[in-house]
Amino acid sequence: MNDILALLVTPAFFYAILRVTTPILFAALGNVISSKAGVSNIAMEGTMLTASLAGVLASAYSKSALIGLIAALLVGVLFSAFMAYLSLYLGTKVIMAGIALNLFASSFTVYILYMFTGQKGNSASLASKQIPSVKLPLIDKIPVIGEIFSGHNILVYVALLSVAAIYIMLNKTKLGTHIKAVGENPAAAASVGIKVRRVQFTALCLSGLLAGFGGAYMSMGYLSMFTRDMIAGRGWIAIAASAMGRSMVIPTTITSFLFGIFSAIGNVLQLQNIPSELITTLPYVAVFIGIVVYSVRKSRGGRS
């Protein structure tokens, strides 16, 4: 027991939390934006997966990590724009479109991977680029703190900065006000001249952009290649985190970190001969309990 505890208070453990939380945080923030606009984007899993493949392919052929990142973001936005078009203009329910696109992405990425590399498992044969890590000046010199916060992939910092950026966007800008108005009462928003569908379209595209960041981080930061189904449920966890955070930026961020903490604990415990099958369910149990506790409290509060 003491051994485990010793492993959990090391700077390396806290460093790992930031590392594993990043993709979830991106996707969860994306879901926050779309939920605020009243159209929950549940295609996070598929968007991230497609974007992560796009990043790898573009960076391998252009020999530039930056172009890879741009491609991943572009694909993330296009993927969401497609879903937005289907649900807002062609009448597919957004949840249905999301489910279909997630399933589609899982096979389609393998198809594309096979077309480019002849492999179905991973993109190891491609010389894809990685988005670099950076040492933070000054912070790097502080003992413990430096070890935890410095030396991460650039996208880890981008994720942390997006928390602030999205908070400001939602609360201080015209677009943010419109998004919230549309989500709370579309009819009222329309009556004051807000173009409801256009705002929802924009919100979905923004959520796709964030999923694109998450996807690029997975294949060009967290790992250095694309592997089949590499998002492995992170998109779903992100949606859960956003649901638990009631689609608010700060609570969602905290919930994403909670998941990251449980994942990191799981990773440590797995090395300790505790059955890994049960350990890997830990974060999911945590999210499940979190949602239930929140709902119970809300319904009790509503009644009294």
Partner 1 sequence: MKKLNLKAKNEIIQILTAIGIALVITLLVLLGTSEEPFYAFSKLLTAPLTRMRYFGNVIELMIPLAFAGLSASLLFRSGLFNMGGEGIFYISGIITTILATRSLGNGFFHSFLVILAASLFGGLIACISGFFKAKYDANELVTSLMLNTILFGIGFYILKTRLKDMSVTGVASAPFLDTAKLTVIIPKTNITTGFILLLLLTGTIWFIYKKTKLGYMIKMTGINKDFAKYSGMSFFALTMIVHFMSGFIAGMGSSVHLLSMYDRFTWSALPGYGFDGCLVAMLGKNHPIGAFVAAFGLSYLRTGSDIMARSTDVPVEMVAIVEMVLVLLITADFIVKYLKRKKALAGGTVNE
Residues that bind partner 1 (rule: CB under 8 A) add up to a total of: 45
Please state, in angstroms and rounded to a whole number, the distance separating the CA atoms of residues 89 and 274: 51
Stretch that binds partner 1, among 135-143, 155-163, 205-213, 284-292 (CB under 8 A): 284-292
Can residue 42 be called a binding residue for partner 1 (CB under 8 A)? yes
Please state, in angstroms and rounded to a whole number, the distance separating the CA atoms of residues 294 and 287: 10
Binding partner 1 (rule: CB under 8 A), the pick from 67, 74, 99, 154 is 99
> Would you say 100 or 134 has its CB closer to partner 1?
100
> Would you say 271 or 288 has its CB closer to partner 1?
288
Can residue 97 be called a binding residue for partner 1 (CB under 8 A)? yes
Can residue 274 be called a binding residue for partner 1 (CB under 8 A)? no
Spatial contact of 234 and 45, defined as CB atoms under 8 Å apart: yes
> Would you say 239 or 249 has its CB closer to partner 1?
239
Stretch that binds partner 1, among 3-11, 102-110, 155-163, 168-176 (CB under 8 A): 102-110
Q: Which residues bind partner 1 (CB under 8 A)?
A: 42, 86, 90-93, 95-97, 99-104, 106-108, 110-111, 114-115, 120, 233, 236, 239-240, 243-244, 275, 277-278, 280-281, 284-285, 287-288, 291-292, 294-296, 298-299
